[in-house]
A and B are shown apart, each in its own frame.
Chain A
Amino acid sequence: MSAPSQNTPHHTLHTVEHRLANQRQSALVTDIFTKSSLSGVPERALSIYQQNLQMTAARSLSISYPVLQQMVGEQAIFILAQRLLAWEKPVTGDWADWGSQLGQVIENSELAIEHPYLADIARLEWALHLSGRRALTTFDRTRLPLLTEVDPEHLTIKLQPSLAVLESPFPVQPMWQLHRDSHGQHDLSEGLEIIMQHREHTHYAVVYQHQNKPKADPIDAQQYSWLLGVQQGMHLAALLDTYPGIDFARWLSQAIEHQWIETILSPR
């Protein structure tokens, strides 16, 4: 039996009482999220729901952003969660889907002045969080002969939806790795040392799922552009023309091994 297809009650309820119940419920939700007083719910009850929301939101961020929490601490995550709730409301019923805008919140926070790389650390960690939850399709090896049989102008490579590429003025992948591997033993100043060693570059990373776990690897500018082109659906001939420095056979072998590719597409 399939799930219903519309977000309305099964048998539509049109009564005045139903409309009032809807208004009453939305008033309470609004009071909880915006600290207004529309619902008439007493302050002491409302404050419990508001505290619950803040605690749950902070706990959710600590799960989705474990390394960032190690770097900035629980208190900062609590404050960031409060600010994020004003930017991005939970909408799906699964807290794991909430928190995509944390990088932007950090960019607009006091943290950005002294630690400008933190926003990109958050973006990397969110990409890892998403990647680790996405379904992976086993690469269909029977499509490989298409590479010799079909004109490259008619071939595109479909990457796994769990793959993402990121660029940053900061070496966020090695910084993230350092803090993750040390389980909070390093302080933020050690991250700054990595920045000093890698300054004057733009840094790139690929995030993907490998053997059921999310991974992030540093890549160079050419690999980044190539992957972006593949992701955007450029056909193989255009990719090879645009990025002649890429050894396609080598890249393909690596991409299959790392479970980056879902399939090879051709019109036939």
Chain B
Amino acid sequence: MSAVSQHHERVDSTRVGVGLRHVHYAEALAQTSHSVDFLEIHAENFFAKGGVIPTFLNALSEQYPLSIHGTAMGLGSAKGIDPAYLTRFCDLVNRVNPILVSDHACFTWGHSDDQPLHAGDLLPLTYDQASLDILINNIDRVQQALGRQILIENIVSYVDHRSDPMQEAEFLANAARLTGCGLLVDLNNVLVNGQNFYPGNTSQYALNWLKTLPAKAVREIHLAGSSAVAPGELIIDDHSKPVSHACWALFQQAIHLFPGAATLIEWDNDLPTWARLQEEADTARFILSQTLIEEML
């Protein structure tokens, strides 16, 4: 796929970005000197064809490299991806020419009472051959429609996958190998799944998980934090806290494993100030530069 290779050169591992949310729109545009290298926007927030959104998007794309992150495509949906949704997604990507395009390894489209619907959430796949076939089929379709590579991201699942025929990381690795898609590794999601289903052994679980992936396929890392819960309860993927200590520690290991990946701070709920968000990006950049220095010495 020639279009894929054209975009490979455009992102490097020293890039640190932040996820842009509505409350920070004005500050992001007003900022003249940037402490972030790129912004990641949620695709669906920019689907509107008119009003202020296209104007804002133009201004934003003139000021920052953008990454487009879908939250609704449901690449693992057995029902397929809604063509109208895919058209809107492609239109947006063509308008912005982003440095990266990504969505999740989950399903979103389904039926209820014989009516088609969108679940509005990232729902878990069963990690088996049938789900893999569906996923690679949909990824192929999207990559052909876009004419470029997409990245797929691991999700938090509240369902126990320990008895699935494949492990999640193996499943994602297969999808990357069979489609040429890239991988977006959300380290917080790996840790949350580990804490929910592999308590007491989370760090080792997470490291093994990362080591299962083909290093060259990993092109982006998400860093985040989640709210604490009472013992015995499942941790919810709310991305509402600063990056956790465990996540920073895993990041240090991930940098060595995936030297080609860009880094993004993702904070979705209970949003901090724009300045605070940039502090998180500064911390990521500091860890990255320390690691690079260590490798040079």
Contacts and interface: CB of A to CB of B under 8 A. Distances in A.
Interface of A: 1-11, 13, 15, 17-18, 20-22, 24-26, 28-30, 32-34, 41-42, 44-45, 48-49, 52-53, 56-57, 89-96, 131-136, 162, 209, 212-214
Contacts of A45: 158-159, 234
A56 B107 CA distance: 17
A91 B117 contact: yes
A49 B138 contact: no
B115 interface: yes
Contact of B50 (A21, A34, A209): A209
* Of listed A42, A49, A214, residue having the most chain B CB within 10 A: A49
Contact of A52 (B108, B121, B140): B121
Given A9-B141, A28-B110, A134 B49 contact: yes
A212 B55 contact: yes
A45 B116 CA distance: 23
Contacts of B78: 18, 21-22, 24-25
13 contacts: A1-B144, A7-B81, A10-B144, A18-B133, A18-B134, A21-B130, A21-B134, A32-B121, A34-B112, A92-B84, A93-B85, A96-B48, A212-B52
Contacts, number: 169
Q: Which 7 A-B pairs have the closest CB atoms?
A: A17-B130, A29-B110, A10-B141, A45-B158, A133-B48, A22-B78, A93-B72
B80 interface: yes
Contacts of A134: 48-51
A48 B113 CA distance: 21
A3 B134 CA distance: 18
Interface size bucket, B side? 35 or more
B199 interface: no
Given A4-B83, A134-B50, A214-B51, A48 B111 contact: no
Nearest to A52: B121
A213 B55 CA distance: 11
* Of listed B53, B74, B130, B137, residue having the most chain A CB within 10 A: B130
Given A11-B140, A162-B50, 11 more contacts: A1-B145, A13-B137, A18-B133, A44-B158, A45-B159, A48-B158, A48-B234, A49-B158, A52-B120, A92-B84, A133-B53
B27 interface: no
Contacts of A91: 116-118
A87 to B, nearest CB: 12
Contact of B130 (A18, A30, A48, A136): A18
Interface in B41-65: 44, 47-53, 55
Given A44-B234, A48-B158, A162-B50, A93 B82 contact: yes
Contacts of B81: 7
Interface string B159-197: 110000000000000000000000000000000000000
B93 to A, nearest CB: 11
A84 B75 CA distance: 27
A24 to B, nearest CB: 7
A13 B133 contact: yes
* Of listed B110, B120, B123, residue having the most chain A CB within 10 A: B120
A129 to B, nearest CB: 10
A63 B138 CA distance: 31
B79 interface: yes
B16 interface: no
B24 interface: no
Nearest to B140: A10
Contact of A29 (B88, B111, B131, B145): B111
Contact of A132 (B51, B77, B118, B145): B51
A188 B146 CA distance: 49
Interface string B93-136: 00000000000000111111101111111010010111101100
